[in-house]
Chain A
Amino acid sequence: MSDAPPKGLTSWLTTTDHKRIGLLYFWTAFGFFLIGGLEALVIRAQLAQPNGHVVSAETFNQLFTMHGTTMVFLALMPLSAAFFNYIIPLQIGARDVAFPRLNAFSYWVFLLGGLLLNASWLVGPLFHAGALNVAPDGGWFGYANLTERQFSPGPNIDFWQLGLQILGISSLAAGFNFIVTILNMRAPGMTMMRLPVFVWMTLVTQFLIITAFPVITVALVFLMFDRLFGAHFYLTSAGATPLLWQHLFWLFGHPEVYILILPAMGVVSEVLPTFARKPLFGYTVVVYSGILIGLMGWGVWSHHMFSVGLGPIADSVFASTTMLIAIPTGVKIFNWIGTLWGGSIRGTTALKFAVGFIAMFIIGGLSGVSHASPPADLQQTDTYYVVAHIHYVLFGGTVLGLFAGIYYWWPKMTGRLLSESLGRWHFWLQFIGMNLAFFPMHLIGLLGMPRRVYTYSPELGVGSLNLVSTVGAFLIGVSILVFLLNVWRSGRRGQAAPNDPWGGATLEWSISSPPPVYNFSVIPTVTSRLPRWKTEHHEPMRDPPAIPPAPIHVPGGSWWPLVAACGFPVMALSVLAHTLWLVFVGAAILIFGIYRWAYEPFEV
């Protein structure tokens, strides 16, 4: 079997190779990250001064809604998925994931869902709207009953609820795939407690996905039925309550934030040991903390609802559970610091981002703990203080963590090194930029500026702070340009990467960069948590030979995941166009794709 990957557009459209799918996720997600970033820059331009008139109020609503929705569902989750796809099979010593075609299906559904959602920026005229843009405008959490037909008569919210349902299918499919892969396809000797922490955090994340996404699906279906068929799930006139939406959304929404942060925590847990030349401090504790965070994350959701009048008992219960969840999180931070302590530190870009993650996440965690107190939260909620919190944990946390992963695994995934000096510029510009952008928001919020307002009056006295924040945001933009320059340079004349540029401990470093299509010429047998390092008890493993001793079967590609995926946007279109028969066409495409998929000869 040739270990050179096939070429051409068809090979990409039909790929079932986890490495290719990982790259597809990466580039697509990064594209959406740039779009979400542009949306943020326009928001910041509008808010740079009081009474700004960069955009109208309606467009502003669409901007912050799409910024949030894009960043959460189209950028951060898929960027994490890029690493799940590329790295997990390598770290567990497998040749691919459990269900390669389902994997491809997840990607195509994600792409199509993201395109559908963003199409709303341009298709206003098709809906006889007064403007080009009819993007979702109800906030990324779409509270009822603002999202009901009465208050949102246009197609904006329909794009949102349909897009999210489609994206949910993508995430669910991937969730099942990775659970089976991690549990059932580990190399011989790789017991659960020898798994890299990134794999463990991914496993917990996937369980969160498969349990939380059904709940938001139901919430969205209810909204769809209200908007399409005159149901009353969230309408008080019929005896219902908009609070049902909030509960269902946050039952999903809180696990979702752990879905967003755990993978980044996993990345950091890989990067720190490598560049401290020291095993992760307290591996077992870190793993159990991750599991605890996942479980406890289900018990805190109403801390997003402290201002709705749940009553003192409910408030107290959720306040307590929220404070408790800070414990396993804090424990991990001590373990990371303990990993660095006494280590032989190499200050690579990846390490900078990982350390930056720790520092920024601590700040975000502190503001989070302050939210845990209902009386304090009554002051903070719906103000910029919360925006500060979420951006410290999601940008300072997830984004910095993912960039650590990007710099760490880039050589493995592309076969080239990124420039460390450009990386340094990227890191510092981004680090300074984010603190300039988000730290003032703590103050802006406490001084009384609400979230989601398209402008503010000069009397509020937050003009200069907002200006500083805007400068910081644009600095982040510059840092991303530096990163893109680094990527471009690396592609054109970057140094070729050896198998193991960093001296890593885990299996992915035992094979070439990028790996051959079959990953491992011989599946390794694992005898320790750090297979490639010499430890007290183990010699380093011998890397698999460059030439496989026996022919290795690699499954071919398949069109059916892409075909089946196309059924969903067609079904969504039937809602947007109020044309019933389209739903049957879409369903027929999906079913046709599934049948051909099921009966296609395909050997893993």
Chain B
Amino acid sequence: MAHAATTHHTSLGLDNRKVAFWAFIGSECLLFTALISTYLVYKGRSVVGPYPHEILNIPFTSVSTFDLLMSSLMMVLALAAVQRGDMKWGKIWLFSTALLGLVFLGGQVIEFTEFVHKGLTLSTNLFGCTFFVLTGTHGAHVAVGVLWLLTLWMRALQGKLGPANAMTVEITGLYWHFVDVVWIVIFTVVYLIQ
């Protein structure tokens, strides 16, 4: 991640890592499509409750959604700061992004615990297994992202992050925004369209 920026000639004039990462994001589209399609295909087919309308908490999740959207804003501000060499703000925004990511994860933990208390687990019904695997996979992606962001932040603290390796931050950003975008879809399809 943090080795010297590539100055090799490339056929497309694009950074190898960025090309690889967009290909990866394309691949992840198929991953989440399979998960979301399964959720949709099994919607309304649970034989026993609890059912979505009984336990999904829209106000709570709306705040989570807002949190993740703001974290994307902070991510892009972090990139802008690093690109112009402003490492003070770069560090602040990187940390803030990670922090909001942690808040989102905290929200997921609270929500999942609530649901379990109300009787919804992986093995209760179709809603349970499709919901938890879909949002759990997304949450795992967020967790990886938080770890990634904190790693970058620590590199910045060590003075090892700067405009010369801004591509690293850009790619982190691509990952983070993609995770946000997946949530945009999940929020609509799971929570709002019941």
Contacts and interface: CB of A to CB of B under 8 A. Distances in A.
Answer whether A and B touch in the complex at a CB cut-off of 8 Å: yes
Interface of A: 98-99, 172, 175-177, 179-180, 183-186, 188, 190, 210-215, 217-219, 221-222, 225-226, 229-233, 237-240, 244, 248, 251, 595, 598-604
A243 B24 CA distance: 28
14 contacts: A176-B23, A176-B27, A184-B19, A186-B11, A211-B30, A214-B31, A215-B31, A231-B128, A232-B126, A238-B46, A595-B151, A598-B1, A602-B3, A603-B4
Contacts of B16: 98-99, 180, 184-185
B194 to A, nearest CB: 17
Contact of A222 (B10, B24, B133): B133
Interface residues of B, number: 40
B8 interface: yes
Nearest to A600: B3
A233 B27 CA distance: 23
B20 interface: yes
Contacts of A251: 34
A229 B2 contact: no
Contacts of B23: 175-176, 179-180, 210
A225 B129 contact: yes
Nearest to B30: A214
Most buried by B among A232, A244, A598: A232
Contacts of A598: 1-2
B20 A99 contact: yes
B123 A603 contact: no
B84 interface: no
Contact of B10 (A179, A185, A212, A601): A185
Contacts of B35: 218
Contact of B126 (A177, A180, A210, A239): A239
B27 A185 contact: no
Contacts of A185: 10-11, 16
Contacts of B41: 244
Contacts of A244: 38, 41-42
Given A184-B10, A222-B38, A232 B3 contact: no
A599 B8 CA distance: 20
A27 to B, nearest CB: 28
Contacts of B12: 183-184
Nearest to B38: A244
Contacts, number: 115
A180 B19 CA distance: 6
A564 to B, nearest CB: 14
A444 B19 CA distance: 50
B27 to A, nearest CB: 4
Contacts of B27: 172, 175-176, 210-211, 213-214
Contact of A184 (B2, B11, B30): B11
A239 B20 contact: no
A257 B137 CA distance: 28
Given A172-B27, A218-B35, A238-B47, A184 B14 contact: yes
Contacts of A232: 123, 125-126, 129
Most buried by A among B8, B27, B47: B27
Contacts of B184: none
Contacts of A215: 30-31, 33-34
Contacts of B151: 595
B11 A214 contact: no
Contacts of B159: none
Contacts of B137: 221
B180 to A, nearest CB: 19
B59 interface: no
A502 B128 CA distance: 62
Interface in B119-136: 122-123, 125-126, 128-130, 133
B45 interface: yes
A217 B20 contact: no
A183 B30 contact: no
Interface string B151-162: 100000000000
Nearest to A179: B23
Contact of A218 (B10, B24, B31, B45): B31
A273 B154 CA distance: 56
Contacts of B2: 598-599
B29 to A, nearest CB: 8
A215 B38 CA distance: 11
A177 B20 contact: yes
Nearest to B130: A233
A176 B46 contact: no
Given A214-B31, A217-B31, A230-B123, 15 more contacts: A176-B20, A183-B12, A184-B10, A215-B33, A219-B34, A231-B123, A231-B129, A231-B133, A232-B126, A238-B126, A240-B45, A244-B38, A251-B34, A598-B2, A604-B6
Contacts of B9: 188
B46 A218 contact: no
B171 to A, nearest CB: 12
Interface in B37-79: 38, 41-42, 45-47
